[in-house]
Copies of this chain bind each other. A is one copy, B any other.
Amino acid sequence: MEPIKVLVVDDEPNIRDLLASGLRFAGFSVLAVANGNDAVAAAEKGKPDLILLDVMLPDMSGFSVTKKLRSMDIMAPVLFLTARDEVEDKITGLTVGGDDYMTKPFSLDEIIARIHAILRRTKQASVEKSIIEVGEVSIDEDAHEVFVNGESVELSPTEYKLLRFLMENANRVLSKAQILDHVWEYDFNGEMGIVESYVSYLRKKLDPLTSEPVLLTKRGHGYMFKSTKKK
């Protein structure tokens, strides 16, 4: 299987490196550049399957980059990155087709999930599944819906991300540090106690519906999602 090629365009070296390393770990083939001109050149040459594009670039805006690409018949979907304060409505109008956008700061896992979602939408032949199912619990990644034994459960965005990360690593202990790094935004600067809080929230919602607790505490190590037998 060919690796999926992603072009990363961001002028902040920290973010660019974070994205490049994270995506490489996730199995993508990554090319990273710092400005719009390089982006156009790299896209023409590298034929990426997807482009991660910061809206604010030193030489030209992310939108100009896309316009240029489209005029060159490079139709790879674009995932825009933008600071939270930047005018979001401008973006919504300009994302067409399979495009999407995210606000900084993001969590790496969220970016990866979004990339998969876009690719699923654009290439329907994709082998990727959009459903994670472990024991009695299942997640629909496209609809962001969670079911326990067929019954729907309402989760907040953070609850959802936490559950997804735990389920992706089911039956494996995850340290609070790991959870924090994968579920929370990259600039989160708070305490690990928040993980405890959210585990508590999830338990309150999930446990009444499962035959036995699914979120186990491994004292001194972290937490684990345990697959249970279906009812």
Contact = CB atoms under 8 A, between A and B. Distances in A.
Interface in A11-49: 13-14, 17-18, 20-22, 24-26
Please give me the 6 A-B residue pairs with the lowest Cβ-Cβ distance, nearest first: A25-B97, A93-B186, A157-B220, A22-B96, A21-B70, A142-B172
A44 B97 CA distance: 29
B156 A219 contact: yes
A142 B171 contact: yes
Contacts of A221: 144, 157
The interface size bin for chain A is 35 or more
A39 B172 CA distance: 31
A2 interface: no
A132 interface: no
A202 interface: no
Nearest to A156: B219
Nearest to A80: B177
A99 interface: yes
A211 to B, nearest CB: 17
11 contacts: A13-B67, A14-B67, A18-B96, A21-B97, A22-B97, A24-B75, A89-B190, A89-B191, A92-B184, A93-B187, A156-B220
A190 B89 CA distance: 7
B92 A108 contact: no
Contacts of A178: 95, 100
A220 B40 CA distance: 33
A136 interface: no
Contacts of A220: 156-157
Given A70-B20, A93-B188, A181-B95, A175 B25 contact: no
Contacts of A191: 89
A185 B75 CA distance: 21
